[in-house]
Amino acid sequence: MTILSYRDLRARGIPYSKVHLRRLWEAGRFPRPFQLAKNGQLCWTDEQIDTHVQARIAAAAGAA
């Protein structure tokens, strides 16, 4: 398992701003991040992001 920061998301194909990501996770449309330390940066696991991307790919393939 690898811990990803906000900056790492762009390399995974997720170019959204922090504000937009917050909107998405509050709406249940993106994995909710966690903090490793109090007042630390937001983090996700690579498994969370990979699962999210795969689900988006599957949804797009199903809609076509």
pLDDT at 64 over 70: no
Percent of the chain surpassing pLDDT 70: 97
CA 17/CA 20 separation, integer angstroms: 5
**Domain boundaries, given as residue ranges, for the chain:** 3-63
pLDDT at 40 over 90: no
- Single pTM value for the model: 0.84
Which residues in 24-49 are b (16+ Cβ under 10 Å) and which e?
beeeeebbebeeeeeeeebbbeeebb
Cβ neighbors of 4 (< 8 A, separation 6 or more) are: 12, 43, 44, 45, 46, 49
Q: What is the pLDDT of residues 14-35, one digit of tens each?
A: 999 999 999 999 999 999 999 9
